[in-house]
Amino acid sequence: MRRLPPFPGLVAFDAVLRHGSVTQAAAELGLTQSAVSHRLRGLEENFGVPLLERLNPGLRPTGAGERLAREIAPLLATLAGLRETVSGERASRPFRIGVSGALLAWWLSPRLPDLAAAFPALTIEVTTWDSRLGAAQGETDLALHWIPREAQGGSRSEVPFPAESVFPVAAPVLRRSSLDGDWRRLPRLAKGYAADGIGNEWSWSSWLGDDGRRPPAMRFRDIGGALHAAQDGNGIVLARSLLVADALRRRRLTRLVRRAEMRPCSKIQVARWSDQADEVAPAMAAWLVAAAERTLGG
């Protein structure tokens, strides 16, 4: 016989995490605060570990609570969508994800089968946009933005991806062919335009000094094109860790500096949804963040 955790406790736990408050969770669920607290205690007793850390004021998940949240978010989203699935409502309304072309091609695309399997009730529609223009290209249910760290809103309708690093990469064959093994002498590729405001970590002069001030051999509209050119052996390029993790693991690209020389990125990936979104958007955002954590930790 399966030993299942108490479902009312899981629902209460999810509501408390979304609101950051037992009071607001109780209002959503139509329960008293003591009833929600009772369900949370029962859930912790079932798992045998604390799931929430009580602060003054507020609550935050423990390490075990964060792991549980990542697991139950897609489950609850699927259950929430059963009515629409059975009635056929969801079939006529795909769930729309907005993402830059570079993030889609270099990270998200290989994970789409697993994403679809995690949300079997959904028809997922992916919309891409120019990363320089942002998300002004139409409505989406969930949008993945690449923004300056200071632009994070701290909203309950936004979750950040793991912090990333910037470092130079090249095709392994190009590195082996470099004279005297000095990768700094290889042709340089650049993303964006010279007039674009970019962090210092993306400036070749900050990596190479005076040599980095010379115009690059080639410049590309966005990082996706620059990475493809580097993978094909056209030169070295500065890359962000999430985008090149798969290529490094498959040895299509190689990192040219030691881990200690990698630089923190001044931007961060975030997932955002509207305040009117249903439970699917935050659940899918949690799934994507967990997938990014696995990518960077692998």
* CATH code of the domain containing 193: 3.40.190.290
Asked which of 56, 82, 108 is the last residue of a domain, the reply is 82
User: Do 273 and 125 lie in a common domain?
Assistant: yes
178 and 125 within one domain: no
On the question of pLDDT at 99 being above 80, the answer is yes
Q: Is residue 2 part of a domain?
A: no
Residue 206 sits in the same domain as residue 177: yes
The model scores a pTM over 0.75: no
Structural domain count of the chain: 3
Listed in sequence order, the DSSP H helices in the chain are 7-19, 22-29, 33-47, 63-80, 82-87, 101-103, 112-118, 172-177, 204-208, 223-231, 241-249, 280-297
Phi, psi of 206 (to 5 degrees): -75, -20
Cβ atoms of 265 and 240 within 8 Å: the answer is: yes
Closest-CA residue to 264 (of 163, 169, 161): 163
The pLDDT of residue 109: 97
| pLDDT tens readout for residues 112-165 | 999 999 988 889 999 987 654 454 445 789 999 999 888 876 667 889 999 999
Indicate whether 229 and 192 sit together in one domain. Answer: yes
pLDDT tens per residue, range 19-74: 778 888 888 788 888 888 888 998 899 989 999 887 776 778 888 888 888 788 77
Residues 102 and 222 in one domain: no
Based on the domain organization, do 155 and 274 belong to the same domain?
Answer: yes
Regarding whether 258 and 200 lie in a shared domain, the answer is: yes
| Single residue among 82, 100, 127 that ends a domain in this structure | 82
Among the residue ranges 144-153, 164-173, 264-273, 289-298, the one predicted with the least confidence is 144-153
List pLDDT tens digits, range 165-216.
999 999 998 877 765 668 888 999 998 765 444 678 998 988 988 777 788 8
Same domain for 44 and 109? no
Q: What is the mean pLDDT of residues 14-20?
A: 80
Asked if residue 27 belongs to a domain, the reply is: yes
The answer to whether residues 254 and 238 belong to one domain is: yes
Task: Give me the domain span that covers residue 37.
Answer: 7-82
Q: Which strands, in side-by-side order, build the sheet including 267-272?
A: 124-129, 95-100, 142-148, 267-272, 158-160
Band of pLDDT at residue 262, cut at 50, 70 and 90: very high
Name the more confident of 108 and 213: 108
Out of 82, 110, 131, pick the residue that ends a domain. Answer: 82
Give me the CATH number covering residue 40: 1.10.10.10
Residue 1 resides in a domain: no
For position 196, what pLDDT does the model report? 47
* Structure-model confidence comparison of residues 110 and 32, the more confident one: 110
